[in-house]
Copies of this chain bind each other. A is one copy, B any other.
């Protein structure tokens, strides 16, 4: 065959393709390879979920034995891989960040421990072991691990219902440690089985509302310390707490406590304001709490104000974290309850840690592996629960300080932990005279950062239903209880998904000038509808029992309205006689959906109209074929694109005329 013949035949082919293009392309649609079966998809999804990212396992296989062990250890302990490139210059930054962190962490830890209704030293313990474990297992470079306000509130509000921390502190502490152990187990399990998506169930909007509500609850609880009240309520909802406050204001409160607390609270808030104005002074708000503790302790010590009603911390047990293996109890009467509490703590703590970690990771442009993070957090809490620590996670405020202080790696966490350890060994005796009002004011000073009104407004502006989830969580936490708030938020979030699938709209399509593609005429007013043709697209990814009838009724109503209008008007308006249903959006369809498409087809045809279906996706065309839908409507009624359907149907009609 000479070159000329080849060229001619190629030209002929191109011409054929041009002419019969849509026929051939319809064949492409109809003869697509089979999509993976249901079982295959389930298997694949499990495999993809369980398989570590990248081709780690393949790389592992290629290596000799010893190297394999090293790689495996590096995967579990990331410090082994980044530690090898660790330099002195980095350490300088980490040291500074770690010391700044410690100065903020010591007073906060003591305060959060009292919020969790534990002895102050347990807060300090929780700032020693967890940061060390996280430093060797975690992948985030900025997260500061330790006790945090919201989790401390969760612990006390849920566990004090089982055991009173005032009358039976040892039993209460045992329950707290057991719940921490369970939380660790759940977190590690989430990481191992790659259930990271579970953490996503608490949506961003719900989290904003939940944390804001929790912050207000925490703030109200601090009034106990600030007013120097002895008897207080164990409930967390705002009504009970306010009642307790009013009752105590009537009876016994000490103005000294209040004045001392407020004075230092304003001091801390002022330093924060200064720190915000002048970025270079970021360390000022970070060390202000420590300064407050030292100053107030000195004042009380010198004036012996504790004799005049100022409540003081008294003895803090010093020394290293004691072992608490014997304190875990797995056969008590509350074991089921404690496991449930552990699950709630696990989810909330992880959500907070991963939200914090992700936001700073994306600033520095690296990706946080959610599953590895969960594994690290899980081990952190498991080992923590064996060494007298209660539930730890990444702290919003301290992570921000760590970042501002210029931390480079998790070494700043190690520096912090060692500093806290030294304080535990040497300085706890000095905290004897620290007034409890100062601890309350340190916690109070951390709260404004948790109430993000600006973000709530942004959510309101962008998505009203998201705001509803946010508001639901907020109101639930505030007026009912912490768990109910969480439950409301999750329920609203899922209802939103169902609502979105329930009543999908349909959109009418028109051709945009200069393109061959059809778009929503509402979104693009310059898109032109074709006369006598109604091209519609379903605005949903799933045509199913819950929306299929709704969709077909909308389409039929629209058709009959347009036909009525055409009849009534005196203009040259043409009656709709071709309906094109664009299936582009549909990722899946169920048997009810197929039945309603069949009904639509029958109904339109028996009323003398034509119908064409365009761009069915993989699963959809597969199921339509299985249900013999293609046989019923005819393969010639299915096209790749709306433009082709238009050309074929209208072109064909013109040819017939």
By the criterion CB–CB under 8 Å, are B365 and A606 in contact? Answer: yes
Query: Which of A285-293, A444-452, A583-591 lines the interface with chain B?
Result: A583-591
Check A641 for interface membership: any CB of B closer than 8 A.
Answer: yes
By the criterion CB–CB under 8 Å, are B54 and A557 in contact? Answer: yes
Contacts of A307 in B (CB 8 A): none
By the criterion CB–CB under 8 Å, are A587 and B197 in contact? Answer: no
Picked from B33, B366, B494, the residue with its CB within 8 Å of the CB of A498 is B494
Contacts of A514 in B (CB 8 A): 17-18, 21, 25
Check A340 for interface membership: any CB of B closer than 8 A.
Answer: no
Contacts of A544 in B (CB 8 A): 203, 493, 496-497
Minimal beta-carbon separation of A539 from chain B (angstroms): 5
Picked from B200, B502, B515, B607, the residue with its CB within 8 Å of the CB of A546 is B200
Minimal beta-carbon separation of A648 from chain B (angstroms): 14
Contacts of A513 in B (CB 8 A): 17
By the criterion CB–CB under 8 Å, are B515 and A641 in contact? Answer: yes
Query: A467: nearest residue on chain B (CB-CB)?
Result: B591
By the criterion CB–CB under 8 Å, are B204 and A463 in contact? Answer: no
Minimal beta-carbon separation of A452 from chain B (angstroms): 12
By the criterion CB–CB under 8 Å, are A203 and B462 in contact? Answer: no
Check A653 for interface membership: any CB of B closer than 8 A.
Answer: no
Check A64 for interface membership: any CB of B closer than 8 A.
Answer: no
By the criterion CB–CB under 8 Å, are A463 and B591 in contact? Answer: yes
Check A564 for interface membership: any CB of B closer than 8 A.
Answer: yes
Residue-wise interface mask of A (470-511) relative to B, using a CB-CB cutoff of 8 A (1 in contact, 0 not):
000000000000000000000001101110111110000000
Check A55 for interface membership: any CB of B closer than 8 A.
Answer: yes
Contacts of A501 in B (CB 8 A): 497, 500-501, 541
By the criterion CB–CB under 8 Å, are B32 and A365 in contact? Answer: no
Check A320 for interface membership: any CB of B closer than 8 A.
Answer: no
Check A331 for interface membership: any CB of B closer than 8 A.
Answer: no
Contacts of A17 in B (CB 8 A): 513-514
Contacts of A197 in B (CB 8 A): 502-503, 546-547, 549-550
Minimal beta-carbon separation of A531 from chain B (angstroms): 21
By the criterion CB–CB under 8 Å, are B28 and A526 in contact? Answer: yes
By the criterion CB–CB under 8 Å, are B603 and A205 in contact? Answer: no
Contacts of A546 in B (CB 8 A): 197, 200-201, 203, 493-494, 497
Picked from B462, B523, B550, B557, the residue with its CB within 8 Å of the CB of A618 is B523
List 19 extra interface pairs beyond A204-B592, A497-B544, CB under 8 A: A28-B526, A32-B524, A54-B560, A197-B547, A201-B545, A202-B545, A203-B544, A203-B546, A204-B545, A367-B556, A462-B626, A463-B623, A498-B498, A504-B541, A512-B640, A523-B617, A539-B617, A540-B541, A541-B541
| 6 closest Cβ pairs, A-B complex | A365-B606, A203-B545, A541-B541, A38-B464, A523-B618, A204-B592
